[in-house]
Chains A and B, each alone.
Chain A
Amino acid sequence: MKQSTQFPTEWNMAYSRRTALKSMASGFGYLAFMGLAHEAAAKETSSHGAALAPREPHFPPRAKRIIFLCMQGGPSHVDLFDYKPELKKHSGGATEIGKERGGAKLLGPQFEFSQHGESGAWVSSVFPEVAKHVDDLCFIHSMQTDIPNHPQAFGQMHTGSFQFVRPSFGAWTLYGLGSQNENLPGFITLNPPADVGGAQNYGSAFLPAICQGTKIGGGQIPALYAKLLGKDKEPGPPLKNLENANLSRDMQRAQLDLVRNLNLQKLDRDKYHPEIEGAIESFELAFRMQDEVPDVLDVNSETEATQKLYGIGQGLPTDQFGRQCLLARRLAEAGVRFIEITAPAKWDHHTLLKENLETSCGATDQSIAGLLTDLKQRGMLKDTLVIWAGEFGRTPYVQSLNGRDHNNKGYTIWMAGGGLKGGYSYGATDEFGYQAVENPMHIHDWHATLLHLLGLDHKRLTFNYGGRDFRLTDVYGDVATDILA
């Protein structure tokens, strides 16, 4: 069992209900207290004073929330965003870098590149809609991760570590800042993969359980059947159990009070039991979610124009991702701190690179652009950080005739909004796009920068577990100050 036990430091104590419990005698004393606390809570607007209460950042934040568009696999940077004329010129030629891979030859970009916007950023023709937004994008052309293997790279991207079970960076965000909406989980992940580390990629490890990501939607129903089943309106299987058919609201509240008091009783007997503590928090959250979640999840309440903007529509290639992006905006608007979407598109193109990129870009391009447009017109882009990133990039040399292999030494991601420079490119790879040669940005640096944008100092955001202070960036990480607006 990967249940964690945390070391109760001063910080942790302040964080939990244990402080309250400790000051109370067991039995009726604290029950009375809980009764009072509940009444008080009912009067106040913010009833979750404990785990997820909003907390002050270390310094004024540039971004208040993150929408992470996770491109599982490794999108080929040299075919999408990292323009390499030399690679085009030498396509088919032998190369030093291919030598270690049995003499593989260079493969030129599979699409034409052109410059866009005032910034003149190069984007390939396969991302026409995203290209229209380059002046809002901040490209990092020099990303690096440690291991060119899916499970490790996916894990490191999410937790900083490819070896150990560590909190995901969404969990760190929540731990550092709390949630802005008491009625919703602060960290929601849409359609996360079950493999490559599974729940660890949105887990809380030793952080309080309430910081872990809540998963919405797993398997998708193919469009045809979904239509027949009348389920085509949801981005995935809809959240169930949001209503109670039997109980009045008051009765359910009374029931949950009973559950909570019994749990507190148990927690008091056990003295220290994170599982129970987490259960108490999650029941309270669940109770509140019943009111707000059905509305938030209902993307059909959006106007037709908005749905069109995101590429939503029966039979459209962007329908699925469009729904997810629109849902992400609605969640962001509702105060969810960290939203991750695993794109339904595949990005691991060992073969048939060109055709597959056309499909994957085609399934996401309009929706990404729609999200950026929508956030901007709602004035949300300035304090929402949008991230587009895969696990790694791909090699400039060919694999299996018409594909590319994993490349962890240099690749491109982009971010937008959230206090970053727009129309900006940071770092660079060599002339073929193989290795980061200018301002390399390791995953640790990236994490440090993300936390910085949220107003958190990655060196100060620590959690003491088993006698050691842990941080997202381990002992590494430099903030890329150049990219801050």
Chain B
Amino acid sequence: MHFRLLRPTSKPIAPHCRESILGRIPPLCLIIIAIGALFHPRVGHCDETDKQPDPRGIEFFESKIRPVLVRSCYKCHSSDAGKSEGSLLLDSREMIRNGGERGPAVVPGDPEASLLLTAITFDDPDLQMPPVGNRLSESVVADFAAWIKMGAPDPRKATSGVARISSIDIEAGRKFWSFQKPVDHELPETQDPNWARRDLDHFVLATLESNSLEPSPDADPAVLLRRLHFDLVGLPPTPQTLSRFLKRTKSKGIDAALTEQVDTLLSSERFGERWGRHWLDVARYAESSGKESNVTFPYAWRFRDYVIDAINADVPYDRFVTEQIAGDLLPFENDAERARLLIATGFLALGPKNLNEMNFFQFLADVADEQIDTTSRAILANTIACARCHDHKFDPYSMEDYYALAGVFASTKTNYGTSVAPQNQVGGDLITLPDLPGQAILHKSVTAKRITDLKDQLAALKKEEKDGRAAVFQAIKDGEDPSGLFTLQDALRILWRSGSINGQLKKYNDQGEALPLALGVMDREQPVDVPLLERGEISKPGEKIPRRFPEIIEFDDLAEIPADQSGRLQFARWLTHPEHPLTARVMTNRVWRHLFGQGIVRTVDNFGHNGEAPSHPELLDHLAIRFVNGGWSLKSLIREIVLSRTYRQTSDYREDAFHKDPDNRFLWRASKRRLDAEAIRDAMLAVSGNLDTARPEGSLVGRIGDRPISIIGFDKRITPDMDGTPYRSVYLPVIRDRLPDVLDLFDFAEPSLVTGDRETTNVPLQALYLMNSSFIRHQAEGLADRLISQTKRRRRKKQESQIRQAYLLCFGRSPDIAENQMAIRFFEQGSHDSKLPIDKDEAARELMANYCQALLATAEFRNID
């Protein structure tokens, strides 16, 4: 069957419609056809005759066929005439074979299937061409029949939008800063020879000096420690850590104390939870499909854990990227490694998907597009996907670049799970991981009988469909009315029921044992190149574009894409080539942004012409080169930066400097920053003593299973605020368009988009959360209990001690006199409140909780200096 039949009919099927489904192809069949179409497209079909065209065939075409086409058809069916009646163009080999609305005009070797021949023979009263009085002679018709039979040899290249001349000037494009190789600059001279601690400080100081600015003094050690803790592990330092750090600073000096502390934090497992989350922002990690259908991805959490573990293990960034793009194609030594590498490819599989899409061909094109978009934004901070419908308007990416990459992803099968259901037209497969001891599997095993039953049901449904269709065919054959025999409703019922059963069966082996499943990608059996789609429309395929990587960046030493592979592994090699001008710079800049509040390039996700230029280009190059030469170690990069003098500055306001540089582009101070949503929540859990730093097994979404988000409200395991766990925020469920309150309110990364730079809003809804939510209250009470129990045995200055302890926990410092006074006044006045419990201890606890809640709600709690 030819894929022209798949013309978009995105009109939703009305379930009440009682029409016969004869001729209507249910989505499941569509899927099979569409995959066939995508991977064996007739467009630019490359058979033996194409490779070595028979000169006699071409001669026949030139003498007998082309003149007739030009004379009798082109007027209404050529791009030169600007006309394509019935969306049919006859002026290129591709277009004549693609055909128009009705189907392919010419099917090489098959005159009967060739609509062009039907039209010119005037056999079909509804399809007669050329129109009115221009009917072709019988001998011409015979020529066409002969020509088609011989395989329709046709030397014509695509015209118009198909034979494109790219508007992209590669040479000019290469001149743009971010496409040039980073240069290893010498450390610049500075007037002050003593300020710098690390190499990077020289660049910063030189820029400051050349702008007549001075760096700020070092921050107070306690302030620095709090900053460092939130930056590296997303948690506040405990009072014990603080006091130890201050002691070390005194005895060993700040440099030694800081180095020691940095190394401790980098080796803490909390580090991966903090920095893994930064990557998850960029990887648009989520546990549901998003968009209209929004169905859960119950196995996505494995990718989350993979990222956290990889960051903790300091997997070199080039390897980290390669695993996520092509883990399935990498060699492995054991099952555990294989499982890990398969899970890594979840990066490509967990993007948002339009599961409502009726046209599977469109769906596949959209999935590949999302993969190109995410990969290019996340790793290159470039928007290659803009070249889907036209050459990139700003950056040097042609449509050919895009479709060459699209071929790589079209040759890849994306396994995202979900099963066919009313809101899901395109259920996907899953990856079954190797069996590992102790592996978490969240769904329970079933009996072998259950599996047999399900299979029986499935077979029964299949039979019912087959019989129903046969009955309809028979009725038509017998000239009877087929309506009501096998209705659309019947077909949909069977489709959805089968979808659900298939979804069940995917989760177990034949014995009913629950399988370890994951989202991820694999190469398709037969890789393909895809045609360039004019204006990105699937109905307008042009020439096939061989798979390759964007022309703007080329390396001599990269292997060709093997004929039997998608090319993802080579793509990963291209992305992580040590001389790639973007990859290391982009990652370095992302790291910088998380440590300074803004990137050296502020548009961290856009290094193209629409992005901003770097404030310190030489510094960026220096760090990027260092990153690559140091084995792409994220931990080393972070270590280098946080040990710098630049990072160590105070964030204090200085009027003179502020007037010169209000945005702090030149880094005359550390920036004051509001904490991310996760750090705010984790800090509250930490100070209240409620935090459980263990990793929860899997995810809530994994336990809920495969279902639409719209009905999970029924699930009692889900609290109204989607929170209610003592674990770190990175383990909260991330459901697209249904985030936990605390994440949603405090500017969590939109999980459908690559987000390297979260927003910081400041709105009253945040205040309402801090004032009234049950989560905050619970933490306030936890903190109150903690303070009360810690000072139980104290007789004297109990209250002062409690206040001091609260300040140490919440802010990493002691209260000043004014703050102490405010607290005392609050306790005095509050003790008369009518709503307090009568019991003295209970009243004291309540009042203490009220006080603690105030501390948690202060701006200082959620900001770092």
Contacts and interface: CB of A to CB of B under 8 A. Distances in A.
B721 A266 contact: no
Contacts of B738: 219
A278 B720 contact: no
A259 B672 contact: no
Given A5-B662, A102-B160, A355-B11, A272 B765 contact: no
Interface in A284-322: 285-287, 289-290
Contacts of A212: 761-763
A210 B738 CA distance: 26
Interface in B647-690: 652-653, 658-659, 662-664, 671-674
A271 B593 CA distance: 24
B45 to A, nearest CB: 23
From B539, B760, B767, name the one whose CB has the most chain A CB atoms within 10 angstroms: B767
B697 interface: no
Contacts of A247: 835, 850
Interface in A234-259: 239-248, 250-252, 254-256, 258-259
Interface string B496-537: 000000000000000000000000000000000000001101
B818 to A, nearest CB: 5
Contact of A28 (B10, B747, B818): B818
A193 to B, nearest CB: 10
Contact of A241 (B771, B851, B858, B860): B771
B662 A262 contact: no
A26 to B, nearest CB: 8
Contact of A7 (B662, B672, B768, B823): B662
Given A218-B744, A258-B854, A289-B768, A265 B818 contact: yes
Interface in B261-314: 294
B752 A194 contact: yes
A430 interface: no
Contacts of B713: 221, 225, 229, 231
A1 interface: yes
A94 B83 contact: yes
Nearest to A246: B777
Given A1-B674, A103-B84, A256-B771, A289 B819 contact: no
A289 B652 CA distance: 34
B171 interface: no
A27 interface: yes
B835 A251 contact: yes
Contact residues on A (Cβ < 8 Å of other chain), bracket:
35 or more
B535 A399 contact: yes
B737 interface: yes
Interface in A324-376: 351-352, 355
B597 A279 contact: no
Nearest to A216: B765
Contact of B853 (A185, A255, A278): A255
Nearest to B833: A251
Contact of A105 (B83, B753, B769, B846): B83
Interface stretch (A124-132, A134-142, A195-203, A443-451): A195-203
A429 B252 CA distance: 76
Interface string B827-865: 001100111000000000010001101110111100101
A362 to B, nearest CB: 14
B767 A279 contact: yes
B750 A198 contact: yes
Given A241-B772, A466-B662, A254 B829 contact: yes
B62 interface: no
Contacts of B853: 255
Nearest to A1: B597
Which of A6, A28, A219, A241 lies at the interface centre, i.e. has the most chain B CB atoms within 10 A of its CB? Answer: A241
Contact of A262 (B597, B744, B752, B854): B854
B55 interface: no
Interface in A1-33: 1-3, 5-7, 27-28, 31
B679 to A, nearest CB: 13
A255 B663 contact: no
B859 A275 contact: yes
A429 B198 CA distance: 62
Nearest to B80: A103
A351 B540 CA distance: 14
Contacts of A246: 777, 846, 850
A258 B763 contact: no
A90 interface: no
B79 interface: yes
B539 A1 contact: no
Contacts of A388: none
Most chain A CB within a 10 A radius of its CB, from B539, B598, B762: B762
B427 to A, nearest CB: 19
A263 interface: yes
B767 A286 contact: yes
B49 interface: no
Contacts of A352: 10-11
A261 B762 contact: no
Nearest to B672: A273
Contacts of B855: 262
A98 interface: yes
A445 B640 CA distance: 50
Most chain A CB inside 10 Å of its own CB: which residue of B393, B710, B835: B710
A241 B744 CA distance: 14
B539 A400 contact: yes
Nearest to B712: A225
Nearest to B761: A199
B671 A1 contact: yes
A8 to B, nearest CB: 9
A99 interface: yes
A92 to B, nearest CB: 9
A163 interface: yes
B82 A103 contact: yes
B741 interface: yes
B659 A241 contact: no
B854 A248 contact: no
A305 B659 CA distance: 58
Contact of B653 (A195, A199, A242, A272): A272
Given A199-B761, A259-B857, A3 B597 contact: yes
Contacts of B653: 270-273
B597 A203 contact: no
A214 B745 CA distance: 11
Contacts of B79: 102-103
Given A203-B761, A401-B539, A258 B737 contact: no
A309 to B, nearest CB: 29
A197 B753 CA distance: 11
A286 B8 contact: no
A59 interface: no
B767 A98 contact: no
Contact of A2 (B82, B659, B720, B759): B759
B610 interface: yes
B826 interface: yes
A279 to B, nearest CB: 4
By Cβ-Cβ distance, the 6 closest A-B pairs, closest first, are A286-B767, A103-B82, A219-B737, A278-B762, A248-B835, A209-B762
Interface of A: 1-3, 5-7, 27-28, 31, 94, 98-99, 101-103, 105, 149, 163, 185, 194-195, 198-200, 203, 209-210, 212, 214-215, 218-219, 221-222, 225, 228-229, 231, 239-248, 250-252, 254-256, 258-259, 261-263, 265-266, 270-273, 275-276, 278-280, 282-283, 285-287, 289-290, 351-352, 355, 399-401, 405, 465-467
Given A195-B752, A241-B773, A266-B858, 13 more contacts: A2-B760, A103-B82, A105-B82, A105-B84, A215-B765, A240-B721, A241-B765, A258-B826, A273-B653, A286-B765, A289-B768, A400-B8, A401-B101
25 contacts: A1-B593, A1-B757, A2-B760, A5-B662, A5-B664, A101-B535, A102-B160, A199-B761, A214-B765, A218-B744, A219-B738, A225-B711, A239-B765, A243-B772, A244-B772, A254-B830, A255-B854, A259-B854, A262-B858, A278-B762, A282-B766, A287-B767, A289-B764, A290-B768, A401-B87
